[in-house]
Structure 1
Amino acid sequence: MPVQGKPPAKVQVTWDGDHRFDGRRASGGPSIRMDASGVTGPSPVDTLLSALAGCTGVDVVDILAKRRTPISALSVDVEGERFAGVPGRLTKVHLAYRIVGADVERVHAERAIELAVTKYCSVRDSLDPNLPVTWSLELNGAAV
């Protein structure tokens, strides 16, 4: 019996003048604003980078929770280098994770990030496999 995949992701994006677009699930619900001019929301590329950070972040939180070492804070700074021509595609991405958690050991946080970036994040897996995605970790204020 073939393995069934998840149902298709369906979104609707509506133009709101100038470079502004609002996206939401086709079935309704909350929306996100994208603005290529960066005035009323993040650009589409910024939104993609945010999706990558959010996707890997969910996995990191879940992996550490399963280890019974929940975190108290997580943030991810993302830097995406871009091609100078047209289209200005991403050529390299770096994710800088900042994790706070009293019982979180560095080796386990690093493993959680590695698994999130290389195995579990569907956003990462949907990007060009040749796009370099690197990461770093600051755990409880220590960058090491």
Structure 2
Amino acid sequence: MKARVKWVEDVLFLGESGTGHTVVMDGPEEAGGHGTGMRPMELLLMGMAGCTAFDVIEILKKSQQDIRDCVIEANGERSEEAPKVYTHIHIHYKITGKNVKANFVERAIKMSTEKYCSATIMLAKTATVTHDYEIIEVE
């Protein structure tokens, strides 16, 4: 896996993934940022949420659960002192579907957070990672 980051100006950077996708990153205003892109630590949290969402959806599909939507809300707290690592991350899973069983959702989350999601497992080395979920029933 590869990534490339190019400095544009001030604290504005253009990131490019090894697969050719790009993202704009910008720092906070107090560091010279202009609000034109995501902050790198936001991307890290979003990457973790995307990683676990991928796992949970795949596991639920393989379990033949009729899922229609999955939204992950991630909240991260960082230390006050540098390095400002994440110290606590809470993940809230919103699973929408028809007759989705809670035990399957719990199993999928457990498998993701303890076995498959590299981002969660890596960030859990410095942060306490907690999670909860809700199932939204559709007709």
Instruction: Verify same fold: TM over 0.5.
Output: yes
1:121 is the counterpart of 2:113: no
Give the Cα–Cα distance (whole angstroms) in 2 for the partners of residues 65 and 103 of structure 1. 13
Is the 1:73–1:100 Cα contact (8 Å) retained in structure 2? yes
Q: Which runs of 5+ in 1 are unaligned?
A: 1-8
Structure 1 moving runs of 4+ over 3 Å = none
Give the Cα–Cα distance (whole angstroms) in 2 for the partners of residues 83 and 127 of structure 1. 14
Q: TM-score, normalised by structure 2?
A: 0.87
**1:72-98 Cα shifts (integer Å, max 9, x gaps):** 111111111111112221111000111
Is the 1:76–1:95 Cα contact (8 Å) retained in structure 2? yes
Specify the alignment match of 1:91 in structure 2.
87
What is the letter of the counterpart of residue 21 of structure 2?
P
Give the Cα–Cα distance (whole angstroms) in 1 for the partners of residues 125 and 80 of structure 2. 20
1:31 is the counterpart of 2:49: no
Is the 2:78–2:87 Cα contact (8 Å) retained in structure 1? yes
Q: Percent identity?
A: 36
Q: TM-score, normalised by structure 1?
A: 0.84
Give the Cα–Cα distance (whole angstroms) in 2 for the partners of residues 115 and 86 of structure 1. 32
Q: Quick one: structure 1 residues 128 and 116, their matched pair in 2 at CA, closer, same or farther if it must change by over 3 Å?
A: closer
What is the letter of the counterpart of residue 84 of structure 1?
E
Give the Cα–Cα distance (whole angstroms) in 2 for the partners of residues 99 and 128 of structure 1. 23
Is the 1:35–1:43 Cα contact (8 Å) retained in structure 2? yes
Kindly report the root-mean-square deviation, in angstroms, between the aligned alpha carbons of the 2 structures: 1.6
**1:90-138 Cα shifts (integer Å, max 9, x gaps):** 1110001111011311111111111111110111233352521100101
Specify the alignment match of 2:5 in structure 1.
13
**1:1-23 Cα shifts (integer Å, max 9, x gaps):** xxxxxxxx111111121222221
Aligned length: 132
